[in-house]
Structure 1
Amino acid sequence: MNRFAEIVKFIRQTFNQPEGFIPLHAPVFNGNEKKYIEECINSTFVSSVGMFVDRFEEDMANFTGAKKAVVCVNGTNALHLALMLAGVKQNDEVITQPLTFIATANAISYCGAQPVFIDVDRDRLGLSPQALQNFLDKNTTRKGDGCYNNLSKRKISALVPMHTFGHPCRIDEIAKICEQYHIELVEDAAESLGSYFNKRHTGTFGKIGVLSFNGNKIITTGGGGMLLFDDEESAKKAKHITTQAKVPHAWEFVHDAIGYNYRMPNINAALGLAQLEQLSGFLKIKRELAERYQSFFSGKNIQFIKEPENSHSNYWLNAILLKDRKERDEFLKYTNQNGIMTRPVWELMNRLPMFRDSQCGNIKNAEWIADRLVNIPSSATI
């Protein structure tokens, strides 16, 4: 038996599924989902107002330690709004990592801003504080109203690191650098619900953090996102803007700003609340799965991505590193042809046609990872 066949056999045994298709990450509905959705339907409050929206926001703020939480239609909307609230304007620049999902770069573009791509750390897969420091030291000038790129002359107004696959980046160092250079920190914590750095939940280190509840996330609302705030005033403003900036009134329709229809419906929040009640169980199962993978791959000369030092990862998507791009492609072909869903990491943002002209630092780590990394089945169903 070749080692790829051995891996397929192990995955099938782990998920107790000797045949058929094994997805990368399937949702699990074993709680109060149907009950809460039925209650929501019976209440007739199925749109953007209702008790499940309020409870979901309150419970998520309590879970993460954020002062306030505001739900959105999806994580991309939440990122867009977070950048707007952080002060990103037309023709500004926003630093992020090339190793990320397209939503990160798209949200920057929605603001009319330009992304600048900085390398990641190999051990954490997230934006590297050392690469960030080097780029800012060599390429920027600090002025009274912020930090400016010497090449483009644009203001660098925000930075968006991502906690890739649920593994926290060196967010404490990044936060200090942002403070030093007067750059707003917006955390893309879309994949890291239940992850902690130095016992502090991801998404709570910057001005705003963003979560995602897409169908493949650790908990789901079908689609959905959330903003985490460290101050109540910003949360209040976010709630206003996401509801078309409507001035509260019993019957009149008056709007005092350009607003967005970004609010999560109550019926989705009902699903999310039921999912949140099960999160601790999901996290426990996913940690057990990661431990099984780590033990298995330790004897296969294949590196399993484990949680970094001073971190507690949710292990949203488990990942391995193969020898090179050729072996990666062979593995992807073999596993998918044998009913095991695996996928490579996203195409690096700077390689996509719409971002090819964006400024990049030296991104050798991101390129190295992109050639080797594969995600393997990670559902909380073992």
Structure 2
Amino acid sequence: MTTSAQGRATATRSPAGRPADVSARPAARVLSTRELNRAVLERQLLLRRADLPVLTAVERLLGLNAQAPNVPYLALWSRLERFTIGDLTAAVEDRSLVRSPLMRATQHIVTVPDFRLVRPALGPLLRRVQRNAFGSRTAGVDLDALVAEAAELLAGGTVITRPDLGRLLARRRPGADAGALGWSVQYLMPVVHPAPSGTWNVRGATPYACAAWTGVRPDPTEGDLRLLVRRYLAAFGPASVADARAWSGLSGLPEVFDRMRPELRTYADESGRELFDLPDAPLPDPGTPAPVRFLPEFDAPLLAYADRTRMMTDEIRRRVCVGDAVAATVLVDGTVAATWTRTRTGGAVTLTVEPLRPLPPSTHDTIEAEATRLLAFTDPGAGERRVHLSSDR
């Protein structure tokens, strides 16, 4: 197979492994990295703050990472015009939004309809995560019986923390690892983590509640998988099959994309990789200005692709994504330019920006102004708020 960009764009294979017949396809339009950047910024509400209700925004974004309690709040603050902490907390408390292990087996907040869509599709991934992480620690445990007992314990709206559930399940399994049992449940059956867990500044043991009330099904339909692809492209496209798998952790996507090919539009990136998109999805002018934005840890545009160069260079990625951690970042002209941290000492709070590449002097005031607004959101009662912009590296 040729290694040229043109060859990579055309030498595709069918799901069965046979070379696909691409001779009749017209040459795909090549999208520049900057065009892809502006596309994701538009779809992720990062070109301008949107005047949207919280539920509408979370649905459009196809969920928010919620690995830490404040992360989804910071994500929405960067995207919405009149967002308050109470807006998101109220939606979690009234169960319009639910928090659960979803994409890549990490915690996300999604709408209830999206939970019904996404959770069945991710069932095989989550079971695989349980085997990889806890298989040796649950060897000899009847996992079907474990799930059945957990469902009984959580019946009727009962809420039990993960450590307590593990201890209860270990009672009938002498010598079993209670911690592994508790963790396994969230991968083997649909559960949600109800409020106040995951709300602003609330930490502690993770509570479990049975998710049956959401109407979630055990397995996805073909229609569910096709809709999930369309929703992913609406939120993150244009994107490759590998990108969609990196975002979700799902296997079997090449076959789904191939069946959907007649209803999708195809492009190529500058390296020749095939990209898919919805026919009517927006592609902003690459010259569209992109404002400075502060993103929290694990923000979706940094994780939604196998090839992340539309958001940051490979060199910067290696400094932002270290092990399982993904730093809080600052976007300048649409791409990652710095990381940021927030520390509190007594009544004073300091936001420190650490550049990852030279920052034009003209952006310094804008960065400091946005940081000041962010501190007013996170720490309205602080006696003193400071912004420190470290020297360019």
Which interval holds the TM-score relative to the shorter structure?
under 0.3
- Structure number with greater CO (CA < 8 Å, separation at least 6) is 1
* TM-score w.r.t. length of structure 1: 0.26
Higher Cα Rg, which structure: 2
